[in-house]
Amino acid sequence: MLRLALLPATLLTLAPSLFAAAESDCGFLRLKASLGPAMPTGAGVPVSLVEVGPAYLPQAGSGTFAGTGNFSGRTFTAKSGTAALGSHANRTGHHLFGPITLQSDGWPTMAPGITVVDCYEANAFLEDGFLRPTVLNAAPLTENSRVQSCSWVGSADANTAAGTNDVVRRLDFAIHRDSYLCTVGVNNGFGNRTPELVASAYNVLSVGLTSGNHSTGPTSSFVDGQGRLKPEIVAPFEATSWATPYVGSAGAILRQRATQLSSVNAARGLCIKAFLLAGATKSEFPGWSKSSTVPLDSIFGAGELEIFNSEAILSGSEQLPNQATPRPAKAWDYHTLAASTLADYRLSIPPGTIATELSAFLVWNRTVSGVISGGLFAPNPDPLVDFNLALDLLPSDGSAPVTVDQSISSIYNLEHVWKKNLPAGNYRLRVSRGTGTTRDYAIAWRMESAPHVPSPSMNLVGDSAQLSFRGTLPTQRYEIHASSDMVAWSTVHSFTADASTYLWNAPASSRRLFYRLVPISL
């Protein structure tokens, strides 16, 4: 028996810095100011809200019915039968489709323009109302919504492993087949284990909290792909129930933005997932970390939702791989890669600047084959394709590339490279993979740049001037130039920094000289 539960709000005493208004923290206000009249609202994007019953509807109703009050202008379809208003569903609905956008006015969403909402009761959704594993034993129903939000958890154990994996495989199958974004909540309460349903699925986007007060840890030993860390992204709410649909609303406005820009591939659920992950910020979490084989932080995943960054990646446009010229600093690609082949995306950091942050995500879906016998559907997971992602420096002297960061997990269906303060130079993001069937992937990257200006000072040491430069970047090459008139300059010293401060004793001179520090591309 599968056990489902809502994700109720947890009463906490929270530091104000962790829970400033979500619309500010998550980039909504910044994006609205940037796009102006072109700001998407989720208009034209149908969504699904999945809630534990029996009162699973945002407002009472049956069949297909019109919303009233705050929900005027929306059309609901009660996919799991007549039901009363559920207070939990009412709030999650507000965070998914509005109409309120400011936290000061109520429960905020990013997508107040959504008007078409399908509603499912979670148990019916897992059974023959959508995934159809039992009575019908058929393939999941087609999901016409572009965003599906699930603010509930289900627990299981080794005795129910077969049924749990069947459900998770069916959900992965539906997400891949129908190309939609599925946001799911992990449990509330730090120390709780990652729930088996449905956060343990591969193709979902699992959501936690900026406070870290949510379940963490690897997926259970009896589910497919044990050992994967969840959640993948966090948002600044007091409960995962509210964070989950809010992330879903961000996905909805990206979906509409893709339509505005006439990009068929950007509208894919897989690409929207990549945009959200690559746009996430980590500055809120000083201890954020990953490794080459673990692409996510053990508590905060990719970081906090930041829709301004995600939209900038989408608007950077789709880029072809293996081009000789550098790609834009914020962009993406949806590409098909055969076994044992490569896809490179070149990036350039000009002299005099640094990449204060480079974040790139490679994501792909786990595929599930439906073995059909006598009209029955039995989900069978295909071997997980093992993509890898590397960030390489391409030295200006033509020597061999140097790997700066890499993500080479064998159990995840995502890879992540992330570096701060990259020196000027030419780089590449390299996608590679091992054997197996040709597969599609989405890659999204975001490179933030700033002028690189170490702080200079000078002290007299005997008859010589000692120059001090604070803020030099280890591994960055520099030249010190001298001039008597600030017109003609000559190189008097060069070095490669090995620390954040560099000292140099200038030779004695009878002339007044000016000095400058110039970073050189690697």
For the stretch 452-503, pLDDT in tens is 888 889 888 777 789 999 988 888 888 999 999 999 999 999 999 988 899 9
Give, for 275, the enclosing helix (H) or strand (E).
Answer: helix 269-279
Average pLDDT over residues 282-297: 97
Strand partners, 129: none
Taking only the tens place, the pLDDT of each residue in 139-197 is 999 999 999 999 999 988 999 999 999 999 999 999 999 999 999 999 999 989 999 99
- Region 17-26: mean pLDDT is 74
Domain boundaries, the chain: 15-315, 330-451, 455-520
What is the phi-psi region of residue 38: left when phi exceeds 0, alpha when psi lies from -120 to 50, beta otherwise? alpha
CATH of domain 455-520: 2.60.40
Is the pTM value of this prediction over 0.85? yes
* Tokens 């090995």 found at: 498
How far apart (Å, rounded) are the C-alpha atoms in residues 521 and 151?
Answer: 49
Least confident of 88-97, 430-439, 502-511: 502-511
Between strands 205-209 and 439-451, the pairing is unpaired
What pLDDT, on the 0 to 100 scale, is given for residue 21?
81
Query: 213, 190 in Cβ contact below 8 A?
Result: yes
In the chain, the percentage of residues whose pLDDT exceeds 90 is: 82
pLDDT of 136 reads 72
Average pLDDT over residues 334-353: 94
**pLDDT for the residue numbered 137:** 81
pLDDT, position 476: 85
* Cβ contact 300:236 at 8 Å: no
Query: What is the number of other CB atoms lying within 10 angstroms of the CB of residue 487?
Result: 6
Superfamily in which the 15-315 domain is placed by CATH:
Peptidase S8/S53 domain (3.40.50.200)
* Per-residue confidence band for 62, with pLDDT thresholds at 50, 70 and 90: very high
The whole-angstrom separation of Cα 311 and Cα 29 is 13
- pLDDT one-digit tens code per residue, 361-392: 999 999 999 877 777 899 999 999 999 999 99
Average pLDDT over residues 207-231: 96
> Please, what is the average pLDDT of the chain?
93
Q: Domain 330-451, CATH 2.60.120.380 — does that match?
A: yes
Do the domains 455-520 and 15-315 match in fold? no
